[in-house]
Amino acid sequence: MQPTADAETSLIIILSAVSLLGVAAAYLRRRFGQRGAAGRGAVIARYEVPTGYNLLEAADLVNRPTTAVAAQLVSLAVRGKVRILAFPVSAGGGAYTLQLLTVKGVHTLERQLLEALFPGLAVGGVRELGVTDRALAAQLRSCPRAARDLVTARGWRALMVGRGGKLIVIVMAAVLLPTLVIFGAVVQSAGSGQLGKVVPFVGIAAICIYLANRFAAATPQLTEAGAEQRDHLKGLKIFLGLAQADRVRLVQSADDAPPAVKTDAAGAPDTVELVRLSEKLLPFAVLWGVERDWARELVVLYEQGAPKPGWLMLQGDFSATAFNAAVTGLIGSVAKSATLPGGSPASR
């Protein structure tokens, strides 16, 4: 019996090692072996808002699905399509409310998002955020996936298969299947009724081969054109992190386009123009998770005499604290609305 027991132990070690190492190898190959286009390399600060695509697509390009919907809603707000009310308008329990103003000039994917929030798209309609709604959560979670499909259709992503993925699966199957047969024969030789020992290892091997095969599948990676758009968005992130004086200097020194910020006779930047540019960039600050700092920059400009934002209504008087709380609180409410009961915030 001792030789049989030793053989069983050796076979179990082989089955376990090949199963676990195969899955680990397939995962690591997927994680590090499947890479999209590298882009141009060095990324420079950019202030120009990308045109031709929306924030949901931008979030896909930079792999930030958790901030996609919130960034898109802020974009719709600063463009005058919706208004953000930093207070509830009903007893539904939501801390924030969206009001639909118009659907003119919205992208197809933006319209899909608005239809999820405002069924029928009735102008003036409202939707509370921050409440549990399974149907709405499912629709909001589908938006990043739809953005991935659109980015792929634009040619900015393409399915790419890294080397060695299928080979790992073939090697696993070539080792595990004969080993299972031998294991069964060894167990059976020890006496009838012992084949039950083999069943768990058959299940483990099948699961591991399945996982390795999933990891070996092609994944949509950025193409050269997609990497160019991603680098533009990364350049915006750099711009958002610059000091205000450096940002103004960069904008006014651009020689490939008219200055984005007008100046007075003394050369000082016009506050209203700075607000206009800063509000256009706020959705990208939300996208990159730096909305707190950018909101503080906006408040400084508002307090210097620029018109208060018409796209955001506060419950009390306008203040730096209230504005910052409204912007950051909205993001939390969107995340809660996109969370299925018992689930996690929207992700891909």
Let me know if residue 329 belongs to a domain: no
- Higher per-residue pLDDT: 161 or 232: 232
- Higher per-residue pLDDT: 348 or 8: 8
Overall number of domains in the chain: 1
Let me know if residue 275 belongs to a domain: no
- Identify the pLDDT of residue 2: 60
Let me know if residue 211 belongs to a domain: yes
Specify the long-range contacts of residues 151-155, CB closer than 8 Å, at least 24 apart.
151/53, 151/57, 151/60, 151/61, 151/220, 151/226, 152/220, 154/53, 154/57, 154/225, 154/226, 155/223, 155/225, 155/226
pTM of the predicted protein model: 0.78
Contact (CB, 8 A) for 88 and 115? no
- Identify the pLDDT of residue 172: 92
Let me know if residue 228 belongs to a domain: no
Greatest mean pLDDT among 99-103, 129-133, 300-304: 99-103
Q: How does residue 187 score in pLDDT terms, banded at 50, 70 and 90?
A: confident
CA angle 115, 118, 119 (to 5 degrees): 70
Distances 94 to 65, 138, 157, 328, 336 between C-alpha atoms, Å: 23, 18, 37, 15, 10
Let me know if residue 8 belongs to a domain: yes
Tokens of 174: 């070539």
Distances 344 to 238, 339, 341 between C-alpha atoms, Å: 30, 5, 8
For 33-83, what is each residue's pLDDT tens digit? 667 777 777 888 988 899 889 999 999 999 999 999 999 999 999 999 999
Let me know if residue 345 belongs to a domain: no
Q: How does residue 257 score in pLDDT terms, banded at 50, 70 and 90?
A: very low
Average pLDDT, the chain: 86
**With left for phi above 0 and alpha for psi between -120 and 50, is residue 218 left, alpha or beta?**
beta
Let me know if residue 223 belongs to a domain: no
For 84-94, what is each residue's pLDDT tens digit? 999 988 877 78
Question: Domain range for residue 197?
Answer: 2-33+163-217
Let me know if residue 205 belongs to a domain: yes
Query: Of all residues in the chain, what percent carry a pLDDT higher than 90?
Result: 48
- Identify the pLDDT of residue 263: 56
